Structure 1
């Protein structure tokens, strides 16, 4: 028998933590929506290769909607796959020099599902201490043992590996460009350690696909690494490619396994066919844009460091520039000054984030205006 009085007392005493943190309705939340015109330049939007402004891509999207509609409303594993999905998977596999590929509806899901489909509870997975949220989510789902090494430090990775003596499967997950710091992964050094200890390598390429390497193939092209040395390449299509969705590329056997065990592939509605066509067209139009963008990224980085005297955390060829200014009050001052002058970018917990657009190379007046505003902002805190 249950003591009714005791039960009521315990029920009254039960005060669980809230499932979510309430938002203060009186607190102002800034939503950055910039209408680009003669007075405003949008460097907050991720549009590295300017595909969002491409009329040929817009026309392709419109034509596909007229033929296929706006979506299948079903997951890839059932009735969510069209011939266009297969075409994109073939093209992405060829671009990345991998045997096969999967296309996901959402970039976050592509990354987390790619990890959870292969890593299990008994496995050990080595990740960077600054790993992005989708990687962490994938490992939460996998319930593997996670070992973190110092940011972009192959030597610390090796030291951590040497301590894991248990005979079990081991994986390394690295980001081409860190979402949090903008720093470039020293991939050859990491692969050397992984091969020495027979560790499988997963490479996340969200911010390197399309902008690194002569043809935009990413870090394998940039470092001249045989893609076969990497077990899985995955990431979002939401950077240089200018669409939503994600991908995962590997061997035929790995992708077949992925089709059966990738939760996002099995249970999430597929990427709408017109957006699949957008990705296909974006890849088709890459041309020399990756090389042009690399030149812009390096010259922009040099300007920020030499002319503005800013501390730029990100790599010189990174598609976004992460600037850290102390004290934070000065960081806010720079952000506010540029916003008032019509140059818009992001301020977050990591610092100031400027997303580059290759279009600036063809519009010299706008690029010079960006330089002028940033230089003026730097003089405020000199």
Structure 2
């Protein structure tokens, strides 16, 4: 009791000098505007496909973990950064994906780029989709391999490029194929069975990036291997972020025991980064536990929403079952008209170089009034350009 009082007293008396001298400035403080969901505003910019961000069970489980483990390990996985919760998640992910083993990174971006760089070397040839996402491109830069791009989601063009390389190849090189389950740039679904057929014909290693198909596609959310009824062991690596459907932070990679063990020794993002905070690990575990039939519900909402957009004569790039809808318009000024009209009427989503991106949430199935309002506003926006 005395020690506690003394500790509190010394803590209150501790007034350290600042490490640096604060710089006085009259510059205006800029704030990033946030959309606060209320009766006037609907947030379709946030990626919360399975509505796990506000789940009370997940919040309580995370709070309990913080009280027991703290907010972070303050060290890489190999240096005081691994807890039993990390190992539990890796075992759970491997079992969920029907792979031998998995590895968890503290940041989704480096999970993708580090996984590529850990295996692909300067003497290798990597075949990659022309619309591959930024983390994949960073992995290619780190790997320093020869890169060959093929037309978006086109297995036939991949085969043509492979034959061209074979004709000009003086010595045999290892070949890798990197594809995205759902393209972040276009929202289109990868024709995985056709790509695997080509890859197996040419004896290529296949890396599948599943940031926007993991937790969404397939009856239980296992991704494209479940959606297409493909044996996951035909894929060398499945990797992606945990920041889409699962509602946490971090990334994962799953594959054979040998594949994952190699990353523990050479995955830069794994070796040099502090491990994923334990309470965020628990978010993933709890989300997977509660996933149930949510992927099926989301697929139905996505198809209904897609059909509505097409009836409004929007040009929808994304796949009918994609968890986000990507709308493009010509001229580009029409995209601004749509965006501004919806914003003024309290429906908020993303406008970027790819087009207008609307993130879905299965909770809209229960909130009919909110969904009807979204439909009314989008219908009004379509009438401005058609």
Q: TM-score, normalised by structure 2?
A: 0.90
**2:306 matched to 1:305?**
no
Match of 2:8 in 1: none
Alignment match of 1:352 (pick from 348, 351, 356): 356
User: Are 1:206 and 2:223 an aligned pair?
Assistant: no
1:111-144 alpha-carbon deviations (Å, 9 max, x no partner) = 0000000000000000000000000100100000
Matched, 1:314 2:325: no
Q: What SS is found at the alignment partner of 1:53?
A: coil
Instruction: Give, in angstroms, the shift of residue 32 of structure 1.
Output: 4.9
Whole-angstrom CA distance in 2 between matches of 1:171 and 1:163: 15
**Moved >2 Å (runs of 4+):** 29-32
Query: Which residue of the other structure, out of 370, 374, 377, is the alignment partner of 1:373?
Result: 377
CA deviation digits over 1:64-110, x for unaligned, max 9? Answer: 10000000111112111100000000000001000000000000000
Deviation at 1:290, TM superposition (A): 0.4
Specify every segment of 5 or more residues in structure 1 that has no aligned partner in the other structure, as ranges: 1-25
Q: Distance in 1 between matches of 2:187 and 2:384?
A: 25
SS of the residue aligned with 2:252? strand
* Offset of residue 260 of structure 1: 0.4
2:113 counterpart residue number: 112
Which residue does 1:147 correspond to in 2?
A: 148
Cα shift at 1:30: 9.4
Cα deviation digits, residues 238-295 of structure 1 (max 9, x gap): 0000111000000001111111010000001110000000000000000010000000
Displacement of 1:314 in angstroms is 0.5
SS of alignment partner, residue 117 of structure 1: helix
Which among 328, 332, 336 is matched to residue 328 of structure 1?
A: 332
3-state DSSP class of the match of 2:53?
Answer: helix
Picking from 233, 238, 245, the partner of 1:233 is: 238
Structure 1 residue 193 displacement after superposition: 0.3
In structure 1, which of residues 219, 224, 228 is the aligned counterpart of residue 224 of structure 2?
A: 219
Q: Give 2:281's aligned residue.
A: 276
Question: Match for residue 127 of structure 2?
Answer: 126
Pairs within 5 Å for 1:1-382: 31-165=32-166, 166=169, 167-306=172-311, 308-382=312-386
Shift of 1:31: 4.2
> Structure 2 regions of 5+ residues with no counterpart?
1-26
1: distance between equivalents of 2:280 and 2:254? 19
Mapped to 2, the partners of 1:207 and 1:118 lie a distance apart of 23
Counterpart for residue 20 of structure 1: none
* CA–CA separation in structure 2 for the residues paired with 1:180 and 1:39: 30
Deviates more, 1:37-46 or 1:157-166: 157-166
Gap change, CA 1:30 and 1:130, over 3 Å in 2? farther
Quote the Cα distance in structure 2 between the aligned partners of 1:370 and 1:303: 11
Residues 32 and 180 from structure 1, CA distance in 2 versus in 1: closer, same or farther, beyond 3 angstroms? farther
Partner Cα separation in structure 1 for residue 145 and residue 333 of structure 2 = 41
1:102 aligns to what SS in structure 2? strand
* 1:299–1:30 Cα change, 3 Å: farther
Per-residue CA distance 1:21-61 (angstroms, 9 max, x = gap): xxxxx9xx994511111111100000000100111111111
C-alpha distance in structure 2 between counterparts of 1:362 and 1:288, whole Å: 15
TM-score by length of 1: 0.91
- SS in structure 2 of the partner of residue 269 of structure 1: coil
- Distance in 1, matches of 2:258 and 2:329, equals 48
